[in-house]
Amino acid sequence: MKKTLLITGGAGFIGSHVVRLFVNNYPDYTIVNLDKLTYAGNLENLKDIEDKPNYIFEKGDIVDADFINQLFDKYQFDGVIHLAAESHVDRSIAEPMAFVMTNVVGTCNLLNAAKNAWKEGGYEGKRFYHVSTDEVYGELHNPEDFFTETTPYDPRSPYSASKASSDHFVRAYGNTYKLPVVITNCSNNYGPNHFPEKLLPLMINNILHNKPLPVYGKGENVRDWLFVVDHARAIDTVFHNGVLGETYNIGGFNEWKNIDIVKLVCKTMDSKLGREEGTSEKLITYVTDRAGHDLRYAIDATKIMKELGWEPSLQFEEGLDKTVTWFLDNQEWLDNVTSGNYQDYYKKMYS
Ligand code: NAD
Ligand code: DAU
């Protein structure tokens, strides 16, 4: 069936995998990728699909309500998959207001535009999907505990507070205006195109350049890792089959202490680079802890698995191997990001 979908944040890490999956798997859909191209947006991520006839790129800011309303007028969207956000916790500690603007105000602008655009024709067949994070649930201490869809919200960083706030607005629009909404809360993603400010790509890049590997505090914090393509597959599943008004947690039942995952990256890199085992581990440097650093996240993904039949396609070791191989095969991508050259790609291709 023909549809026109708005995907926001499609030039970012997860968004680019979602755009690729939808453009390739749904040739009848027109996919409009709206992205501001902040430091995290990189159109090189989408090189392989940018010439497809069902793909359109629009540069713009979700904080600009007039622009968003015009975009809804122009395309008459049938659905929205909203990923655009400021996504890095450390940056939210340094610059919280950017997170309030994009994650809260930007999300509300999209909700208003969808509500106004869809109210006349009715909501039949329409869907507003908000892509959110497990960080809204706070942190876990008891090793037997997991975040479920009914865990009370307890955001503890400016980033997670802004995502929690946007989740609340999405639910409020669902309840008050009956906007057809659905939300997912996912754990830490890893994979190709991950921006090298985040733990795993930062470690890979620093190992390549023999630079220190900064581990916050004692490296005891726990994260639950999911391959990014499996997150994109889950988004496809929930967009098409998720029950409106519902929330689904997405995760890989794959918890790692930071220090253990960093050591595994070191071992994998040593082996692939033909270095003696233990070489990269010598670069590990314990540094000052992140302010308010959440101890442990762990998602219970039973609901999406049982009700919608989604499950991760990759074992973690395989996913990590693929990821490291991708970064080694795409060092130009990494160099373009670290040098800032990637920001010229838009000018070269689109203006
Ligand atoms: P990212 O930082 O890699 O990409 C964000 C994208 O949004 C970038 O392309 C950026 O240019 C764009 N953007 C930022 N501000 C914008 C604005 N005002 N207007 C338009 N575009 C704007 O982020 P990511 O890691 O791909 O995360 C995508 C989404 O998934 C976010 O909503 C994040 O909260 C959520 N999420 C991320 C993870 C993870 O592990 N990375 C896990 C769960 C949920
Ligand atoms: O849980 C989902 C969240 O995962 C997403 O919502 C966020 O958008 C995404 O950025 C990610 O947040 P984290 O803070 O968990 O990811 P980050 O890669 O920044 O850090 C992972 C862990 O590694 C965390 O415990 C902090 C630690 N860390 C991070 C960096 C960048 C270090 O020890 N050293 C580092 O240099």
Distance between CA 7 and CA 52 in Å, rounded? Answer: 16
Tokens of 333: 């991508």
Distances in Å between the Cα of 318 and the Cα atoms of 226, 232, 282 are 11, 17, 25
187 CA distance to ligand 1 centroid (A)? Answer: 14
Residue 270 resides in a domain: no
Distant-in-sequence, close-in-space partners of 35: CB < 8 Å, separation ≥ 6: 8, 9, 10, 11, 12, 15, 41, 57, 58, 59, 60, 84
Q: For the residues of 69-86, what is the DSSP string, one character each?
A: HHHHHHH--SEEEE----
Q: Among this protein's residues, is 190 annotated catalytic?
A: no
Residue 248 resides in a domain: yes
Tokens of 232: 């994109």
Long-range contacts (CB closer than 8 Å, 24 or more residues apart) made by 200-206: 200/261, 200/265, 200/323, 201/327, 201/334, 203/262, 203/265, 203/266, 204/265, 204/269, 204/323, 204/324, 204/327, 205/327, 205/334, 205/338, 206/283
Residue 327 resides in a domain: no
- What is the number of domains present in the chain? 1
Residue 232 resides in a domain: yes
199 CA distance to ligand 2 centroid (A)? Answer: 6
Asked if 207 contacts 283 with a C-beta cutoff of 8 angstroms, the reply is: yes
Q: Is the CB of 88 under 6 A from ligand 2?
A: yes
Q: Among this protein's residues, is 294 annotated catalytic?
A: no
Among candidate residues 300, 274, 309, 334, the one with its CA nearest the CA of residue 150: 300
Question: Closest ligand 2 atom, CA of 189?
Answer: 4
Distance between CA 238 and CA 304 in Å, rounded? Answer: 8
240 CA distance to ligand 1 centroid (A)? Answer: 21
Among candidate residues 261, 257, 216, 241, the one with its CA nearest the CA of residue 308: 241
Ligand 1 pocket: which residues have CB below 6 Å? 8-9, 11-15, 35-38, 40-41, 61-63, 83-87, 102, 106, 131, 133, 163, 186, 188-189, 195
* CATH number where 135 lies: 3.40.50.720
Whether the model pTM is above 0.85: yes
Residue 277 resides in a domain: no
Residue 206 resides in a domain: no
Name the catalytic one among 35, 44, 50, 135: 135
The tens place of each residue's pLDDT in the chain, 351 residues long, gives 899 999 999 999 999 999 999 999 999 999 999 999 999 999 999 999 999 999 999 999 999 999 999 999 999 999 999 999 999 999 999 999 999 999 999 999 999 999 999 998 889 999 999 999 999 999 999 999 999 999 999 999 999 999 999 999 999 999 999 999 999 999 999 999 999 999 999 999 999 999 999 999 999 999 999 999 999 999 999 999 999 999 999 999 999 999 999 999 999 999 999 999 999 999 999 999 999 999 999 999 999 999 999 999 999 999 999 999 999 999 999 999 999 889 888 888 876
What is the best residue among 39, 89, 289 to mutate for testing ligand 2's pocket, by most ligand atoms within 8 Å of CB? Answer: 89
Question: Closest ligand 1 atom, CA of 189?
Answer: 40
What is the best residue among 13, 151, 195, 216 to mutate for testing ligand 2's pocket, by most ligand atoms within 8 Å of CB? Answer: 216
Q: Which residue has the least CA distance to atom 23 on ligand 2?
A: 199
Residue 18 resides in a domain: yes
132 CA distance to ligand 1 centroid (A)? Answer: 10
**Domain housing 62:** 3-191+225-254+293-316
Residue 148 resides in a domain: yes
Partners of residue 22 on adjacent β-strands: none
Distance between CA 162 and CA 99 in Å, rounded? Answer: 6
Name the catalytic one among 134, 139, 167, 255: 134
Tokens of 328: 């080694």
